[in-house]
Copies of this chain bind each other. A is one copy, B any other.
Amino acid sequence: MGNSRVTVREIARLAGVSVATVSRVSNGTGQVSAELRQRVLDAIELHGYQPDHLGRALAARRHGALGLVFPGLSGPYFSELIQGFESEAVPARASVHILCTHLREDSDAQVLEMARRVDGIAVMGGTISEAALLRLADLVPVVVLAGQGRDAVPSVGVDNATAMGRLTSHLLTEHGLRDLAFVGTPEGSPDVSQRWAGFLAAHRELGLTPPGEPVRVSMQQPDGVLAAEQLLRDRRPPDAIVCANDEIALGALVGALGRGLRVPQDLVITGFDDAPMAALVSPPLTTVRQPVRELAAEAARLILRAASTPDAPAPDSIVLPTELVVRRSCGCPTGTPTGGTGK
């Protein structure tokens, strides 16, 4: 220990100056004569003084911290998300508080509690109730990450419906597939809900009848294995498995190959996210690329800005572009450069 218990008043006494002067020196604000400055710097150096964060935060009435709330952690998606958020927060000298809500039932209360410890919060879509979100926005700047904003709560996301519609159309028109299964739980998150909607819309636009129900599973690789086994056990398996994300697709691929099927000859599989593995499996996965890291970074920037200008008008929501990435798992010969950019 040693440097832990040193306060401004202590340094002030040792340097023979007032606390105001110590504060000015340690912050570089205001005018201090060269002599006093040196005396203070010496005392600070000698005793290893570091201003206490709490005192400073209390006086400044800002925490210097950002919150990130998500349902759970799984796969490269959340890794990217957290890292994107962090990469923006830390240079702004803001620490990052996290909260996984899926572990507990009283997540609304937890999030509200978090609001009193940070300057702003990014909440993943669908993790807390609508009511809690509004109360939250009342307390601190909030942005919804990958979900629908509401009133004064801006959101950052991609146009999932259009992107998934484009992918689905590709399967229906280019490959003439007619029996597609959708794997993912629309009720689980706004992302999946929109992807499911885009999947349905693409069918209807072509006058086709989409499947009535998706295969509801979670978003991790093991769930994809499970889903594939369930679908392939059926007497009449689908032509294609359209997965809500790459993790599911990777799992489904493992499941399908494990049953001796050939992809894409016997079964087409597609994903969403363009995770690093998508390009490396065989066959490489046809998917939709979305800029996850950039999404989170954008959210962090929005919050930081809102926190520093308290009375500014609520910023607009942001929609980042996606890109259809056609590889071999859909049946295309090879990396056909059909890559269309979503809005």
Which residues in A have some Cβ–Cβ distance to B below 8 Å?
1-4, 50, 52-55, 57-58, 63-65, 72-76, 78-79, 82-83, 86-87, 90, 95-100, 103-104, 110, 114, 116-117, 138-139, 220-222, 225, 251, 254-255, 257-258, 276-277, 280-282
| Contact status B97-A138, CB under 8 Å | no
| Contact status A55-B52, CB under 8 Å | no
A247's closest neighbor in chain B, by CB?
B277
A258: B residues at CB distance < 8 A: 281-282
| Contact status A53-B117, CB under 8 Å | yes
| Contact status A73-B79, CB under 8 Å | yes
Chain B's nearest CB lies how many Å from the CB of A293? 11
20 new A-B contacts, CB < 8 A, other than A2-B138, A54-B63, A95-B117, are A1-B139, A3-B139, A54-B54, A64-B117, A65-B97, A72-B79, A73-B82, A78-B79, A82-B98, A83-B103, A95-B99, A96-B97, A96-B99, A221-B276, A221-B280, A222-B277, A251-B277, A254-B277, A257-B257, A258-B282
Chain B's nearest CB lies how many Å from the CB of A85? 10
- Alpha-carbon separation in the docked complex, A157 to B90 (Å): 28
Residue contacts A-B, CB under 8 angstroms, 14 given: A1-B138, A50-B116, A55-B58, A73-B78, A74-B79, A83-B100, A87-B103, A90-B104, A96-B97, A96-B99, A220-B276, A222-B277, A251-B280, A254-B281
Q: Known: A54-B54, A97-B95, A104-B90. Is A254-B276 also a contact (CB below 8 A)?
A: no
A83: B residues at CB distance < 8 A: 72-73, 100, 103
